[in-house]
Every structure is written in C-alpha cells, then in structure tokens.
Structure 1
Amino acid sequence: MAEFVFVSGRLCLDLAGTQLWRRSLRTELLNSPEDLRLWVRQADLLDDPGTMDARALDRVCRLREAVYTLVRAWSPGNPPDTGARDALAEVNEAARLPLPKHQLDETGRLTRTGSTDEILGAIARDAVDLLSSDQFPRMRECANADCTRLFVDLSRSGARRWCGMAECGNRNKAASYRKRKKQQAVAETGT
C-alpha cells in the first residue's frame, strides 16, 4: 500500500505534492485510480471513496496542476504564468462543487461520504481559502533545489525551510555534515 506524505499544512498543497521533483525527475505518485483512492483515504477526505476510475483520476490531476500553477503564479517573486488564468477558472469551477457529507453515527463517530465531485470541491475550496487568507504569504517552496513541494510555514519563527525533515531536511543536514567533515579532514591534512 502506498504511503503519501502530508506535510504541507493544507489539503490542496498536499495534493500538489503528489507530483514530485517537477524541475527534474518528475515523479508521479497518482499513477492509477487505486493510488487516488488511497490518497483520498489517507487525506481523510472520505471514509470509503469506493471505486475510482480513470476519469476521476484525470479530473483530480487536472485540479492538482491548476492549484500548483495558481499558487506558484500568485507567489511573490515568481514570474507571471500565462496558464494562471486557466488555472484560476479550473479552481473556481471545482470550488462550486459540493463538499463531502459529514455525519455522526449513534456512537458519535464521524463519517465522511461523497464522490469525485465532493473530493474536487473540498480540495478547490481549500485552495480558494489558502489563496485568499493571511496564511498565503507564509506559503513556501522547499529549500531543497530539486524539491518542488509547497507548504505553509506555520512555525512561530516563520523560518521553516524544508517540506519535511524526514525527506529533504534530513538529506540536507546529512549532506552538510559530510561536507563539514570533508573540509575538516582537508584542513587537518593540509591538502
């Protein structure tokens, strides 16, 4: 079973993170309708997404790319993106879709039900909420030059650099440690 990473602080950015290394090795994590079903479950969107099909996967991936394009285009310091207008239309259209239905059973347990429309509606509304909120200026891209994962920096200092320590943060720390050790060894031998 695939395990997805939810380190972005927002549902829409976690979905955008299912396409990794966009500048280099472009790694797709949603390769099949079953992958999408697992992501929906792990994201706690729906308790049982049921059978997903290729059309559902295509619709979610289209919204994912629209969210990524729009967030990057609206981020300070990024050049204007000619696809931002189409991305905005895609996000707004999906934001008009219904949300998952939340109900309590007799024991007080929450149940979440819906279909592809409700999945898209929840993700798009999260994107609309992020883009229009005071959290948006705290949106960052991972400091790992190869990583393109986006996240909201909710740290007190506002100095978070990595999408997650388990992935990029620890890799960077280990690389920095090896570099310091190598420099130290060179300094000690004088060569």
Structure 2
Amino acid sequence: MKHSFLSGNPALDFAATLRSRRGAPFEMLTSAESLDSWFLESGIVNESTRCKPADVRQAVSVREAIYSLVLARMGGEEYSSEALSTVNDAARTPPAVPQLRPGGRHIEATSSQALSTVVRHAIEVLSGADAPLLKECADPECRRVFIDSSRGGRREWCSMEPCGNRMKAAAYRARKRKERQVSL
C-alpha cells in the first residue's frame, strides 16, 4: 500500500489517512493490513505490529480525535473534552521503543505502542513551537494539515504534486478564460 507523508509530522500524516475530508472522503485505513502498512511506511516501526480489526477501530477513533484537536488549535478554539480524553488515553500506553542492533536502529511494537507513538507526536506538535505553523492545504479537494516551515510562511499546499499543480493549473485556466472574455 502506498501512503503519503507530506505533513512534516507523523501525527498530521496519520490524520490525513482519511483523504479528501471535505470532498468525497477516501479511507486509507480499511483493514488491519493497511494500518500495519502505515506504521511500517511511516517509520514508526520496522516490522509488522500484527494489527487486528479492533486496532483499526481504535486507530480511526484516535485519528479523528487528533484531527479534531488540530482543527481546534488552528482555529483558536477550545479542545473537545472527548478528543482530549481519547488522545491522552492512547498516550498513556508505552510508546514504541527503538533498540540498537548490530545492523543499526530497530523498532518493534504492538499496534497500541505504535499508536501511542503517533499520539505523542500529536501532543508535541500541538503544544510545541510548530503549533503556530499549522496550515490546511489550499486545495479544496485535499485540506490536509501540514507544518509550514517555508521561508516567510507562505506555503499554500501540502505538496506541489498533485495539489499545487492542480491549483496552479486551475488558476491559469481561469486567467485565460477571463482574458478571452475581455478581448471579445
């Protein structure tokens, strides 16, 4: 499975596993295998967490709580007590622990430990120096939240491919249409 990691923080990338939230939502965490794949591809773990269907339900609940907290933080609103409770409960589980092996760093974890690691990233981004840098992609079909660490803080899209390119092409077509109407 191919997941994308464009947000600058694993918790924000995890929140983006429900794609196109404001358009036609597309769920990426559809099975235990897809959740396990996300943990592997994100680098949270180096080998299978052996996820079960109950782990997926918990992960989706945690993902939605993280997303709720991120939107509240960006909007200057109070956090939902339910979302706070969900995130804090998950953070109480010990996180994935890296081990040093002859071949280098290796991380084994259960699904709950991997999820705890993701939640701890969410807590760090929401309470740390990156919190004011949170932005939502300007592509109305995407709306992924990312950390804008660009010079001047003027980044508009989660990524140029495909969001930035799609938005720039749409703006170009709109300008050309307007030019044609003015010249008539």
TM-score when normalising by structure 2: 0.93
Distance (Å, rounded) in 2 between the aligned partners of 1:134 and 1:51: 34
- Deviation string, structure 1 residues 99-141 (Cα, Å, up to 9, x no partner): 112112123x111110012111101111111111121011011
Corresponding letter in the other structure for 2:134: M
Secondary structure, counterpart of 2:153 in structure 1: coil
- 1:176 pairs, out of 161, 171, 175, with 171
Corresponding letter in the other structure for 2:64: E
- Deviation string, structure 1 residues 66-113 (Cα, Å, up to 9, x no partner): 0001111122356x57xx110001111111111112112123x11111
- 1:89 pairs, out of 75, 80, 85, with 85
Secondary structure, counterpart of 1:110 in structure 2: strand
Shift in alpha-carbon separation, 1:50–1:94, aligned structure 2, 3 A: closer
Corresponding letter in the other structure for 2:116: G
State how many pairs are aligned. Answer: 184
- 1:166 pairs, out of 161, 164, 169, with 161
Corresponding letter in the other structure for 1:4: H
* 1:103 matches 2:135: no
Secondary structure, counterpart of 2:151 in structure 1: coil
- Structure number having the greater helix percentage: 2
Structure 2 contact 139–163 (Cα < 8 Å) conserved = yes
- 1:145 pairs, out of 140, 147, 151, with 140
Structure 2 contact 45–96 (Cα < 8 Å) conserved = yes
Which residue number corresponds to residue 121 of structure 1? Answer: 116
Structure 2: tracts of 5 or more residues without a match: none
* 1:70 matches 2:65: no
Distance (Å, rounded) in 2 between the aligned partners of 1:148 and 1:180: 24
TM-score when normalising by structure 1: 0.90
Structure 1: tracts of 5 or more residues without a match: none
Which residue number corresponds to residue 32 of structure 1? Answer: 31
Which residue number corresponds to residue 56 of structure 1? Answer: 55
Which residue number corresponds to residue 41 of structure 1? Answer: 40
Corresponding letter in the other structure for 2:160: M
Distance (Å, rounded) in 2 between the aligned partners of 1:47 and 1:145: 34
TM-fit CA distance, 1:163? 1.1
Distance (Å, rounded) in 2 between the aligned partners of 1:101 and 1:77: 34
Distance (Å, rounded) in 1 between the aligned partners of 2:44 and 2:109: 9
Distance (Å, rounded) in 2 between the aligned partners of 1:77 and 1:149: 18
- The alignment yields a C-alpha RMSD, in angstroms, of 1.6
Distance (Å, rounded) in 1 between the aligned partners of 2:149 and 2:130: 8
